[in-house]
């Protein structure tokens, strides 16, 4: 009888680090008169980018010459946090992972030199290493093929590049943190989810842990059922500023009863914690509940990672005191879930963010 052990799918690669000479392009920049970027490699670069896989460079070369060559070939913009110089490749790959905030196990490295691959593998054993001759097949490998490609995934590189520009601007800024946030011209949009949004909504419920109120994962089929149910609201939060889009950064699942609204899930991306996204969303929802004349209840399950979300709930005024409005709310997920209560009151709009959101009391736009 054959082995029936299920195959565990490989962890998806979040960033591929390319060597340049005789890997990304044909030729050696400092020796050959010209180097050539094969059409098949260009197709891989563009294809990985469309799937949301970030790409970077680790190359032993003069930085200015190599970057100018990438620009001349029309592909420089595809690469983030490049490491081009004369140090060890493993150190370069480690710095790339740290700047992106990625674990080594989500990084891949491709190089034509066995010694370079061995050096990276020795110092960073979790990094997956590939020979240059495999470059043209990468799009066919499961680790470079995410299960779903969301709208945000297709814009991931641009969002990271905007984030680096934003961080650089903040480093140079000499005013207060609030003044810097105000200078960003931030616009937060809260809108009812569409079917096209559901893959990103599912991703937020699955991947967000520090700012997830319950840790419950809502799969696609559950989200579609809620989307079709007239008593539920599935809301997606986006954030943009003068540097570009942060993409979808939050999801709310709300069940509406005659005398109470039940917030079954709030999850926001950890990338926008510094902007107070969770607090802004909770204050807006409290204001909406006050306009509707209903109590606001929220599920909360404490975990070893979501202390920051608990602080956001408490700061917004939620507590676990008893109230007559609890009643037989459906969908609470077990004894370990705390049902927090807020006597909703009108809230002022944030001073650093322009908010565009629906009017939940009428079903129309605010």
Give pLDDT tens digits for 78-135: 999 999 999 999 999 999 999 998 999 999 999 999 999 999 999 999 999 999 999 9
Confidence of residue 7 (pLDDT cuts 50, 70, 90): very low
Domain match, 335 and 208 both = yes
Provide the pLDDT for residue 8.
46
Domain match, 186 and 311 both = yes
Domain match, 181 and 139 both = no
3-state helix, strand, coil in the chain (%, to 5): 40, 25, 35
Residue 83 lies in a domain: yes
Give pLDDT tens digits for 119-161: 999 999 999 999 999 999 999 999 999 877 877 788 899 999 9
Domain match, 251 and 310 both = yes
Domain match, 224 and 348 both = yes
129/115 Cα distance (integer angstroms): 11
Structure tokens at 188: 């937060």
Confidence of residue 308 (pLDDT cuts 50, 70, 90): confident
How many domains is the chain partitioned into structurally? Answer: 2
State which of 144, 166, 185 marks the end of a domain: 144
Domain match, 240 and 350 both = yes
Does the structure show a pLDDT above 80 at 227? yes
Residue 157 lies in a domain: no
- Residue 358 has phi, psi (to 5 degrees) of -75, 165
Does the structure show a pLDDT above 90 at 74? yes
Q: Considering Cα of 30, then 32, then 34, then 39, what sign does the dihedral take?
A: negative
Does the structure show a pLDDT above 90 at 343? no
Percentage of the chain beyond pLDDT 70 is 91
User: In 10 A of CB 99, how many CB atoms?
Assistant: 14
Confidence of residue 222 (pLDDT cuts 50, 70, 90): confident
Which of 32-41, 89-98, 231-240, 341-350 has the lowest average pLDDT? 341-350
Distance between start and end Cα atoms, the chain = 64
Domain match, 340 and 262 both = yes
State which of 104, 125, 144 marks the end of a domain: 144
Domain match, 131 and 77 both = yes
State which of 99, 125, 144 marks the end of a domain: 144
Domain match, 351 and 206 both = yes
Does the structure show a pLDDT above 70 at 168? yes
**Helix (H/G/I), strand (E/B), else coil: 11:** coil
Residue 195 lies in a domain: yes
Q: What is the CATH number of the domain that holds 47?
A: 3.40.50.1000
Q: Is pLDDT larger for residue 365 or for residue 307?
A: 307
Measure CA 133 to chain center: 32
Residue 107 lies in a domain: yes
Domain of residue 70: give its range: 15-144
Note the helical H segments in 208-300: 220-228, 277-292
Residue 76 lies in a domain: yes
Residue 43 lies in a domain: yes
Q: What is the CATH number of the domain that holds 342?
A: 3.40.630.30
Residue 365 lies in a domain: no
Provide the pLDDT for residue 184.
92
Does the structure show a pLDDT above 90 at 306? no
Domain match, 60 and 186 both = no
Q: Considering Cα of 214, then 217, then 222, then 223, what sign does the dihedral take?
A: positive
Domain match, 234 and 278 both = yes
Domain match, 118 and 224 both = no
**Rounded mean pLDDT of the chain?**
87
Residue 31 lies in a domain: yes
Which of 10-14, 40-44, 238-242, 326-330 has the lowest average pLDDT? 326-330
């Amino acid at each position: 009888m054959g082995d029936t052990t299920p195959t565990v799918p490989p962890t998806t690669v979040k960033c591929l680090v390319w060597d340049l000479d005789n890997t990304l392009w044909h030729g050696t920049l400092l020796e050959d008169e010209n180097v050539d970027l094969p059409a098949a490699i260009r197709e891989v670069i563009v294809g990985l980018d469309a799937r949301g896989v970030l790409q970077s460079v680790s190359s032993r070369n003069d930085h200015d010459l190599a970057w100018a060559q990438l620009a001349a070939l029309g592909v420089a913009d595809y690469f983030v946090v490049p490491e081009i110089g004369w140090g060890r490749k493993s150190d370069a790959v480690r710095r790339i992972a740290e700047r992106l905030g990625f674990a080594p196990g989500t990084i891949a490295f491709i190089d034509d030199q066995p010694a370079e691959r061995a050096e990276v593998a020795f110092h960073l054993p979790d990094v997956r290493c590939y020979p240059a001759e495999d470059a043209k097949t990468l799009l066919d490998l499961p680790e470079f093929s995410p299960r779903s490609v969301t709208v945000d995934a297709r814009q991931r590189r641009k969002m990271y590049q905007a984030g680096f520009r934003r961080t650089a601007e903040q480093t140079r800024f000499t005013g207060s943190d609030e003044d810097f946030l105000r200078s960003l011209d931030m616009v937060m949009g809260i809108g009812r989810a569409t079917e096209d949004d559901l893959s990103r909504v599912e991703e937020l419920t699955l991947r967000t842990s520090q700012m997830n109120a319950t840790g419950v994962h809502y799969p696609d089929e559950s989200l579609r059922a809620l989307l079709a149910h007239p008593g539920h609201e599935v809301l997606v939060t986006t954030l943009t500023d003068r540097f570009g889009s942060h993409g979808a950064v939050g999801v709310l699942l709300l069940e509406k009863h005659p005398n109470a609204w039940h917030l079954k899930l709030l999850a926001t991306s950890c990338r926008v914690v510094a902007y107070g996204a969770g607090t802004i969303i909770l204050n807006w929802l409290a204001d909406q509940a006050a306009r509707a004349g209903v109590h606001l209840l929220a599920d909360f399950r404490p975990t070893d990672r979501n202390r920051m979300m608990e602080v956001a709930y408490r700061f917004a005024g939620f507590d676990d005191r008893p109230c007559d409005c609890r009643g037989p709310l459906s969908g609470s997920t077990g004894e370990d879930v705390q049902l927090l209560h807020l006597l909703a009151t009108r809230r002022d709009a944030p001073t650093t963010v322009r908010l565009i959101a629906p009017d939940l009391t009428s079903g129309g736009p605010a």
